[in-house]
C-alpha cells in the first residue's frame, strides 16, 4: 500500500511514514506528538479531533492521511504565533469557555473556521456552525460568548 | 520508588507544613518551629505545603482536577491565607507517591473539606515565615507582615525564597487553626482565572490519553460481545502472526499489544474467541418490573405489588460520557508499578492494583494528570489494571485507551430506577403526609426539604442488570425529579400556583431564599400565558447546597418538538469561592441535566448495550441550549459547600412541570421526551 511520507503541518514540512489509510488523527497524535487533537468518539460525532485543512475545520478521526497530503494542516499547537495566543484562544480564556478542556482544541479550531466563513456570526449562525461539537461539561453558552468576543477582534484570521 | 517520607526529606531546603486531620491529635499544636529538624510525619495527613528556597510554594493534595476547577479553588485558598500571588503557587494533585492519602474527588467534598485544610496549611506557613523574618531581622513578630508574596517589617523586606534559603524546617499542625473570615477575603471569593487554562487552549496540556513513555506499546483487551459471557476457547494464531504483536492470555484475561494502536486494534479483530452467553435477566423495556421483583425487602412491609395509592415514576439508566474515555499508561520497574490514569480516586486505584498484583500499596504509584472530566464516572481503575497487566506480561510500558464503544458498554452507568410517591394535602395546601419509595436508583436526595407531618422515605436495594455507580448528584436528580414533579401534581390538585404551594410548605429559610430568588429573576409572578409555551419550577437541597430552577419551554404539538427556551437557576452553597467558576458549574449542570431530562437513556437488551456510541446516544448540543441565567446567593456567614453536583437536580422537574403547564400532559419518566412529546 502507498505510504505517505510528508505532511504540511503548522507551517512546516514534517517527515512521516504512514500507511495511506491511517487516520490523520492517529498520525498527528502518535507519529508527530501533536496531541492537541483529541479522540472522543471515532465516528465524527463529537468533533474533539477537529483540525484545519486548508483553513477548513476537518474531523481528523474520519480523514485518511492520504487525503491531506500536500494540504495545509493546522492543529491547535500551530494556532498561537511566537507565544502570542490567537484571538480565539484569548477569547475562550476570557469567557471561561471551558471546564475539563478536552473538547477545547477542537472547539477553538471549529470556531476559527466558522469565523473565516462568517466573520460576524449571529447566535443562530454560531449554533448551526458549531452544533457538531460536543462539550460534555456544558459550557456551550460561554463558547458562543467567546466566539462573539473573538469576532470583534479578528478571530477568523 | 519514592515514598512520601523520603519525598519530604528530598524536598530539600525551605519550610514544610504538614496538616494533620481534624480528628487526630496534634503532635505539635503551634508555637515556633524547631530549626534544622524533620519531625516524624504522622499517618493521618490531609495536606502538606512546601515553601522552597526558590520561593515557590508547592501544595500537595490527593484531590484531582477533572474540569471542576479544584486546582484553581485550592490555589485560591492557599493564596488567600499565605498572602502570596496565585502564580507562585503550584498545586501537586492526585499523585499517590507525593500527595497525602485522599478518599477521592467526589460527593462535592473538595470545597467543604479540603479547601479549609488548604487554608489552614497556608496560614501555618504564613506564621512560620513571619517567625523566620522576626528572628532574622530581630524584630517583634507583630511588626512583620506579608503581602503579595513579600515579607516586610519597617525597612526590612524579603521574598519567600530569601527567607527560606538555608532553612530546613517542618511543622506539623492540627486542623484547628483560625482562618480569615469570608468577609475579609481578597483572593478567595473572587473570579480568579482558571489555573492551567493557557495549556488547554494551546493544546499543551497532556491528558492521560496524550501520554507517551519511552519504549511504550499499545494494548487492547478482549471483551465479550455480551455481558456475563464466559470464554470457551481462543484462537490467537492470526493475531500472533502479525508484526510486533504479543498476545497475553491469563485465564479469562486476553490482551494484545503492538507497536502502534492500529496494529493492536487489528490484532484484537483477528482473535477468534468462542463465548458462552448468559441469559439476560432484564432489558430496558422490562427493567422497572425487574427492580420491584428483585428488591431485597420485597414481601416485607409494603413490598410486592405497588401500593395503588402511590404514583409511579420511572428513571432510565444514563451514561456519563466523559469526553476523554478511560485511559492509562503503565510501567513496571523492579517489581514496582507506576500508572498514569484519569481517575477520581487515585488511592482507590492504587489499592485495586496492589491487590490485583499482590504487592504492597507502597509499590504502586498512581498519577492522575488533569483529566478530561468524570462526573462521578471515573471512580474505578479498569484501564489502569489492563495496562498494568499487559505491561507486566510483556515487560514494556503499555498504553491502554478505551474506545468510545468500550466506555459506553463496560464502564458503569447512572442507575435506573422506579420511584413510587404519594402524599396527603389539606385543602389549604398544607402537606400532611408524604411517602416515597425509590427502587434501585439510590437514596441521595430522597429526604424532602419541605415540612411534612408524617413521612415515609425509603430506598429499596434491588438487583441491577447493568453495572452501575456514581454520577453527578447521584440519585438526587431522580429523587428531585419525582418529588418536584409530584409537588406540581399536588399544587394543581389543590388549585394553588406551584410557587405558592412550595413556599407554603417550605420552612427552611435557605430553601425559601433560593425559590424566591429564582422566581423573581424568572418573572414568575405575574407571567403571561403564551400558547404552546409553559413554565415550571422546582427546588431542592443536596450536599450542602440549595437550588431552585425555573424553566420555560415551547411545545409544538403537531411535531411533538419540545424546546427549553430559558432556565433560571438560583443557587446557594454558603460563601462563594469563585463566582465565575461557580456560574460555569451551574450552567454546565443545567446543560448536562438537560440531556438526562429530555432524551438521554441507555437502551439495552440481550445483555448488550444498544446505545453504545455517540451516533446512537444523543447528548446535549449547542442547539439544545436554553438561555441560562444563574442567580448566586453569597452567604459569607456560612461555610462554603461544593457546587459541582447540586445545580443539576432542578432542571428535569422544572422542564417536566413546564411541559405540563404548556400541554396538560404529566410526564412521569426520565427522559421526558426522547422521541418528542407523544400524546
A50: cell is 477537529
List the 110-139 stretch of A: residues with Cβ below 8 A of B: 126-128, 130-131, 133-139
CB contact residues (below 8 A), chain A span 54-113, against chain B: 75-77, 79-80, 85, 89, 92-93, 96, 98-105, 108
User: Residue B520 contacts by C-beta under 8 Å, 6 or more apart in sequence?
Assistant: none
Same domain, A34 and A73: yes
Question: A48, A78, A108: which is the final residue of a domain?
Answer: A78
Query: Which residues of chain B from 175 to 204 reach within 8 Å of chain A, CB to CB?
Result: 193-194, 197-198, 200-204
The model's pTM is 0.95
Q: State the CB neighbour count (10 A cutoff) for residue B14.
A: 24
Query: At the topology level of CATH, where does B417-463+472-670 sit?
Result: Aldehyde Oxidoreductase; domain 4 (3.30.365)
Kindly determine whether residue B201 and residue A104, on different chains, have CB atoms separated by under 8 Å.
Answer: yes
- State how far the Cα of A108 lies from the Cα of A86, in Å rounded to an integer: 10
**A144 shares a domain with A121:** yes
Taking an 8 Å cut-off on Cβ atoms, the answer to whether B209 and A35 are in contact is yes
Pairwise CB contact (< 8 Å): B404 & A41: yes
Whether residues A70 and A9 share a domain: the answer is yes
Tell me the C-alpha distance between B363 and B350, whole Å: 9
For each successive 10 residues of chain B (679 residues), what is the average pLDDT? 62 84 40 38 71 94 96 98 97 95 92 91 93 96 96 97 91 79 97 98 98 98 97 97 97 96 97 97 97 83 60 98 98 97 97 97 97 97 98 98 98 98 96 97 97 96 97 97 98 98 98 98 94 97 97 96 98 98 98 98 98 98 98 98 97 98 97 93
Which residues, listed in sequence order, are joined to residue B556 by a DSSP beta bridge?
B561
Please say whether the beta carbons of B563 and B622 come within 8 A.
no
CB of B36 within 8 Å of a chain A CB? The answer is no
Q: Is residue A107 part of a domain?
A: yes
Given a contact cutoff of 8 angstroms between Cβ atoms, the answer to whether B552 and B565 are in contact is yes
What distance in Å separates residue A121's CA from the closest CA in chain B? 15
Domains B4-194 and B208-277+321-410 share a fold: yes
DSSP state of B650: T
**What is the nearest CA distance from A137 to chain B, expressed in angstroms?**
5
Distance from CA of A40 to the nearest CA of B (A): 6
B565 touches chain A (CB under 8 A): no
Q: Tell me whether residues A103 and B323 touch, CB distance under 8 A.
A: yes
State the nearest Cα–Cα gap between B622 and chain A, in angstroms. Answer: 5
What's the pLDDT at A10? 98
Mutation to test the B interface, candidates A100, A114, A141, most B Cβ within 10 Å: A100
Asked whether residue A17 falls in the same domain as residue A40, the answer is yes
Q: Nearest chain A Cα to B588, which residue?
A: A138
**CA dist., res. A87 & res. A148, Å (int):** 11
SS3 B59: strand
Cβ pair A141:B194 closer than 8 A: no
Run means of pLDDT, 10 residues per run, chain A, 157 residues = 92 96 97 98 98 98 97 98 96 98 98 97 98 98 98 80
Residue of A nearest to B623 (CA): A127
- Considering the domain architecture, whether residues A114 and A96 belong to the same structural domain is answered as yes
Task: Tell me whether residues A137 and B625 touch, CB distance under 8 A.
Answer: no
Specify whether A46 is located in the same domain as A25.
Answer: yes
Compare CB distances from B201 to A33, A43, A108 and report the shortest one's residue.
Answer: A108
Number of domains, chain A: 2
Distance CA B61, CA B45 (A): 10
- Nearest chain A residue to B262 by CA: give it: A22
Let me know whether A72 and A118 are in one domain: no
Of B184, B170, B169, B24, nearest in space to B119 by CA = B184
Is residue B596 within 8 angstroms of chain A, CB to CB?
Answer: no
Does the beta-carbon distance from B210 to A35 stay under 8 Å?
yes
How far apart are alpha carbons B574 and B633 in whole angstroms?
Answer: 8
List Cβ neighbours of B434 (8 Å cut-off, separation of 6 or more): B422, B423, B448, B450, B452, B454, B455, B456, B457
Residue B330 C-alpha cell reads as 503503565
Give me the domain span that covers residue A110: 87-152
Chain position carrying cell 517567625: B131
- Geometric angle at alpha carbon B264, from B412 and B338, rounded to 5°: 65
Q: CB contact, 8 Å: B210 with chain A?
A: yes
Cβ of B403 within 8 Å of Cβ of A35? The answer is: no
Q: Nearest Cα to A132, choosing from A65, A66, A49?
A: A49
How close is the nearest chain B Cα to the Cα of A140, in Å? 6
Does a cis peptide bond (omega within 30 degrees of 0) precede residue B23? Answer: no
Task: Report the distance separating Cα A9 and Cα B83, nearest Å.
Answer: 44
In a domain, A16, yes or no: yes
- Write down the pLDDT at residue B28: 32
Q: Which of A43, A93, A129, A138 to mutate: most B Cβ within 10 Å?
A: A138
CA distance B543 to B109: 8
Domain end residue (candidates: A47, A78, A109) = A78
The CATH number that applies at residue A55 is 3.10.20.30
**Residue A114 pLDDT:** 98
- Verify whether the Cβ–Cβ distance A48 to B207 is below 8 Å: no
Q: Quick one: chain A helix, strand, coil %, rounded to 5?
A: 35, 20, 45
pLDDT, position B433: 97
Could you tell me which of B451, B547, B456, B546 has the C-alpha nearest to residue B505?
Answer: B451
Closest chain B residue by Cα to residue A109? B201
The answer to whether residues A7 and A73 belong to one domain is yes
Q: Which residues 604-623 on chain B approach chain A with CB closer than 8 angstroms? A: 613-615, 619-623
**A100 and A74 together in one domain:** no
Residue A157 inside a domain? The answer is: no
Residue of chain B whose Cα is closest to the Cα of A46: B614
CA distance A121 to A115: 7
- Residue A26: inside a domain: yes
> What are the distances in angstroms from CA B234 to CA B249, B252, B262, B388?
9, 10, 21, 22
Please check whether residue B581 touches A, CB under 8 A.
yes
Cβ–Cβ below 8 Å for B372 and A89: no
Q: What does the alpha-carbon distance between residue B458 and residue B541 come to, in Å, rounded to a whole number?
A: 18
Is B201 in contact with A128 (Cβ distance < 8 A)? no
In CATH, the number for domain B208-277+321-410 is: 3.30.365.10
CA B48 to CA B76: how far, in whole Å? 16
CA distance, residue B219 to nearest chain A CA (Å): 14
Is A100 close to B403, i.e. CB distance below 8 A? no
Chain B touched by A27 (CB under 8 Å): no
A97 and A31 together in one domain: no
Judging contacts by C-beta atoms under 8 Å, the chain A residues touching residue B580 are 96
Residues A49 and A95 grouped into a single domain: no
Confirm or reject contact between B213 and chain A (CB < 8 A): no
Query: Are residues A7 and A51 located together in one domain of the fold?
Result: yes
pLDDT for the residue B4:
60
- Judging contacts by C-beta atoms under 8 Å, the chain A residues touching residue B200 are 98, 101, 104-105
The cell for B31 is 508555637
Establish if A74 belongs to a structural domain.
Answer: yes
d(CA B588, CA B582): 10
Whether residues B592 and A138 touch (CB distance < 8 A) is answered with: yes
Task: Note whether B227 contacts A: Cβ–Cβ < 8 A.
Answer: no
d(CA A70, nearest CA chain B) in Å: 23
Q: Where a domain ends, among A33, A51, A78?
A: A78
The Cα B532–Cα A147 span in angstroms is 32
Contact assignment for B373 to A102 by CB distance below 8 Å:
yes
Treating both helix axes as pointing N-terminal to C-terminal, what angle do B115-137 and B70-82 enclose, rounded to 10 degrees? 30
Task: Give residue B390's pLDDT.
Answer: 98
User: What confidence score (pLDDT) does residue B8 get?
Assistant: 66
Which fold does the domain B4-194 belong to in CATH?
Aldehyde Oxidoreductase; domain 4 (3.30.365)
The b/e string for B369-405 (b: 16+ C-beta within 10 A; e otherwise) is bbbbbbbbbbbbbbbbbbbbbbbbbbebbbbbbbbbb
A149 touches chain B (CB under 8 A): no
Tell me which chain A residues have a C-beta less than 8 angstroms from the C-beta of B472: none
Closest Cα in chain B, distance from residue A124 (Å): 9
- Res B173: pLDDT: 81
Residues of A in contact with B598 (CB under 8 A): none
Burial readout B342-363 (b: 16 or more C-beta within 10 A, e: otherwise): bbbbbbbbbebbbebbeeeeeb
Give the Cα-Cα-Cα angle B117, B121, B122 (nearest 5 degrees): 115
By the 8 A CB rule, do B373 and A100 touch?
yes
Instruction: Say whether B584 and A35 touch across the interface (CB within 8 A).
Output: no
Residues of A in contact with B585 (CB under 8 A): 99
Domain segments of chain B: what residues?
A: 4-194, 208-277+321-410, 417-463+472-670
* A133 belongs to a structural domain: yes
Are A99 and B584 a contacting pair at CB < 8 A? yes
Q: Is the Cβ pair A98, B197 closer than 8 Å?
A: yes
Residue B434 main-chain phi, psi, to 5 deg:
-145, 135
Domain of A126, CATH number, reads 1.10.150.120
Residues on chain B touching A138 (C-beta within 8 angstroms): 587-592, 620
Amino acid at each position: 500500500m502507498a505510504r505517505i511520507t510528508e505532511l504540511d503541518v503548522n507551517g512546516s514540512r514534517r517527515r512521516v511514514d504512514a500507511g495511506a489509510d491511517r487516520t490523520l488523527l492517529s498520525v498527528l497524535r502518535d507519529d508527530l506528538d501533536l496531541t492537541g487533537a483529541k479522540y472522543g468518539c471515532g465516528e465524527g460525532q463529537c468533533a474533539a479531533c477537529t483540525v484545519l485543512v486548508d483553513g477548513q475545520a476537518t474531523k481528523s478521526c474520519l480523514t485518511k492521511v492520504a487525503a491531506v497530503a500536500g494540504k495545509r494542516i493546522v492543529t491547535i499547537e500551530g494556532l498561537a504565533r511566537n507565544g502570542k495566543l490567537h484571538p480565539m484562544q484569548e477569547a475562550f480564556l476570557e469567557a471561561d469557555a471551558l471546564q475539563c478542556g478536552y473538547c477545547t482544541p477542537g472547539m477553538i479550531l471549529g470556531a476559527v473556521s466558522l469565523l473565516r466563513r462568517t466573520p460576524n456570526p449571529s447566535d443562530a449562525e454560531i449554533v448551526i456552525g458549531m452544533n457538531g461539537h460536543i462539550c460534555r461539561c456544558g459550557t456551550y453558552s460561554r463558547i458562543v460568548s467567546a466566539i462573539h468576543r473573538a469576532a470583534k477582534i479578528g478571530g477568523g484570521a | 520508588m519514592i515514598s512520601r517520607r523520603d519525598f519530604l526529606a528530598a524536598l530539600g531546603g525551605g519550610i514544610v507544613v504538614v496538616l494533620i486531620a481534624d480528628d487526630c491529635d496534634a503532635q505539635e499544636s503551634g508555637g515556633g518551629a524547631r530549626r534544622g529538624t524533620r519531625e516524624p510525619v504522622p499517618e493521618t495527613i490531609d495536606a502538606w505545603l512546601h515553601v522552597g528556597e526558590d520561593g515557590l510554594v508547592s501544595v500537595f493534595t490527593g484531590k484531582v482536577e477533572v474540569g471542576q476547577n479544584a486546582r484553581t479553588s485550592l490555589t485560591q485558598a492557599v493564596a488567600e491565607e499565605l498572602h502570596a500571588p496565585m502564580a507562585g503557587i503550584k498545586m501537586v494533585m492526585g499523585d499517590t507517591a507525593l500527595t497525602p492519602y485522599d478518599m477521592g474527588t467526589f460527593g462535592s467534598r473538595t470545597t467543604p473539606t479540603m479547601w479549609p485544610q488548604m487554608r489552614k496549611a497556608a496560614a501555618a506557613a504564613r506564621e512560620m515565615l513571619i517567625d523566620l523574618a522576626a528572628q532574622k531581622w530581630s524584630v517583634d513578630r507583630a511588626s512583620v507582615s506579608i503581602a503579595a508574596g513579600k515579607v516586610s517589617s519597617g525597612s526590612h523586606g524579603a521574598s519567600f525564597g530569601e527567607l527560606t534559603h538555608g532553612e530546613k524546617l517542618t511543622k506539623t499542625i492540627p486542623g484547628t487553626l483560625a482562618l480569615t473570615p469570608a468577609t475579609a477575603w481578597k483572593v478567595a471569593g473572587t473570579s480568579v482565572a482558571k489555573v492551567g487554562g493557557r495549556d488547554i487552549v494551546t493544546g499543551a496540556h497532556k491528558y492521560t490519553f496524550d501520554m507517551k513513555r519511552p519504549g511504550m506499546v499499545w494494548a487492547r483487551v478482549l471483551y465479550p460481545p455480551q455481558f456475563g459471557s464466559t470464554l470457551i476457547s481462543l484462537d490467537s494464531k492470526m493475531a500472533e502472526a502479525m508484526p510486533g504483536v504479543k498476545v497475553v492470555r491469563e485465564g479469562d484475561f486476553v490482551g494484545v499489544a503492538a507497536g502502534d494502536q492500529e496494529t493492536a486494534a487489528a490484532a484484537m479483530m483477528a482473535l477468534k474467541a468462542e463465548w458462552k452467553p448468559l441469559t439476560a435477566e432484564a432489558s430496558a423495556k422490562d427493567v422497572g418490573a425487574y427492580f420491584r421483583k428483585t428488591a431485597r425487602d420485597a414481601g416485607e412491609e409494603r413490598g410486592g405489588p405497588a401500593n395503588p395509592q402511590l404514583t409511579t415514576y420511572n428513571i432510565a439508566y444514563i451514561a456519563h460520557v466523559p469526553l476523554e474515555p478511560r485511559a492509562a499508561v503503565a510501567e513496571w520497574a523492579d517489581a514496582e508499578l507506576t500508572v498514569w490514569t484519569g481517575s477520581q480516586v487515585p488511592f482507590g486505584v492504587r489499592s485495586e492494583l496492589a491487590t490485583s498484583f499482590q504487592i504492597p500499596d507502597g509499590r504502586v504509584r498512581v498519577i492522575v494528570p488533569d483529566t478530561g472530566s468524570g462526573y462521578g464516572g471515573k471512580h474505578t481503575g479498569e484501564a489502569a489494571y489492563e495496562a498494568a497487566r499487559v505491561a507486566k506480561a510483556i515487560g514494556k510500558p503499555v498504553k491502554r485507551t478505551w474506545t468510545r464503544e468500550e466506555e459506553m458498554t463496560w464502564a458503569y452507568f447512572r442507575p435506573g430506577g422506579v420511584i413510587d410517591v404519594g402524599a396527603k394535602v389539606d385543602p389549604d395546601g398544607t402537606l400532611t403526609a408524604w411517602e416515597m419509595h425509590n427502587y434501585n436508583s439510590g437514596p441521595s436526595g430522597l429526604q424532602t426539604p419541605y415540612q411534612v407531618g408524617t413521612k415515609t422515605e425509603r430506598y429499596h436495594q434491588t438487583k441491577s442488570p447493568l453495572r452501575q455507580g456514581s454520577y453527578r448528584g447521584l440519585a438526587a436528580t431522580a429523587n428531585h425529579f419525582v418529588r418536584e414533579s409530584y409537588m406540581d401534581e399536588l399544587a394543581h390538585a389543590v388549585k394553588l400556583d406551584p410557587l405558592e404551594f412550595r413556599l407554603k410548605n417550605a420552612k427552611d429559610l435557605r430553601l425559601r431564599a433560593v425559590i424566591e430568588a429564582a422566581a423573581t429573576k424568572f418573572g414568575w409572578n405575574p407571567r403571561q400565558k403564551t400558547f404552546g409555551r409553559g413554565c415550571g419550577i422546582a427546588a431542592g437541597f443536596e450536599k450542602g447546597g440549595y437550588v431552585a430552577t425555573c424553566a420555560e419551554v415551547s411545545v409544538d404539538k403537531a411535531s411533538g418538538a419540545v424546546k427549553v427556551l430559558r432556565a433560571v437557576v438560583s443557587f446557594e452553597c454558603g460563601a462563594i469561592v469563585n463566582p465565575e467558576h461557580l456560574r460555569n458549574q451551574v450552567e454546565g449542570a443545567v446543560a448536562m441535566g438537560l440531556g438526562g431530562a429530555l432524551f438521554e437513556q441507555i437502551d439495552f437488551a440481550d445483555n448488550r448495550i444498544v446505545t453504545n456510541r455517540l451516533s446512537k446516544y444523543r447528548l446535549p448540543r449547542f442547539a439544545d441550549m436554553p438561555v441560562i441565567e444563574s442567580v448566586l446567593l453569597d452567604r459569607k456567614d456560612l461555610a462554603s459547600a461544593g457546587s459541582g453536583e447540586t445545580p443539576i437536580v432542578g432542571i428535569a422537574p422544572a422542564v417536566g412541570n413546564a411541559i405540563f403547564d404548556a400541554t396538560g400532559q404529566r410526564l412521569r419518566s426520565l427522559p421526558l421526551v426522547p422521541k418528542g412529546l407523544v400524546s
